[in-house]
Amino acid sequence: MDKHNIGSEIQNGLKSIKQGQGTRKVVKTPDVIAIRKSMHANQSTFAAMLGVSTRTVQGWEQGRRKPSAPALSLLRVAAIRPDAIREAIAA
């Protein structure tokens, strides 16, 4: 590729970002309460299933804390396949 073209692409991208037109990836926090309830678990049990403290789950549910990237991945699995979480714990 021509270095000049790459440079102009970078400049155009920076201009777009400065103008607020850059793409942003928004990660939506899953509904932790709904996931926990779908698994028929109280906060303590759910926290143990995910390997976090009860206080962490409470923070997520109350919107005071956001799950980390690994926790988000685990919550997405729990939302789609709660049985996979149970199987992993039982193994």
CATH number at residue 69: 1.10.260.40
Has residue 24 got a pLDDT over 70?
A: no
For residues 66 and 60, the answer to whether their CB atoms sit within 8 Å is: yes
Has residue 89 got a pLDDT over 80?
A: yes
Q: Across all residues in the chain, what is the average pLDDT?
A: 86
- What's the CA gap between 20 and 28, in Å, rounded? 20
Residue 71 lies in a domain: yes
Whole-number pLDDT of residue 23: 60
Residue 17 lies in a domain: no
Residue 20 lies in a domain: no
Quickly list H helices, 1-91.
Answer: 3-18, 32-38, 43-50, 54-62, 69-80, 82-90
Q: Which value, to the nearest 10 degrees, does the dihedral of the CA atoms of residues 45, 46, 52, 53 take?
A: -50
pTM, two decimal places: 0.69
> Which domain range does residue 46 map to?
32-90
Residues in the chain: 91
Whole-number pLDDT of residue 73: 94
Percent of the chain with pLDDT over 90: 64
What does the pLDDT average to over 50-67? 96
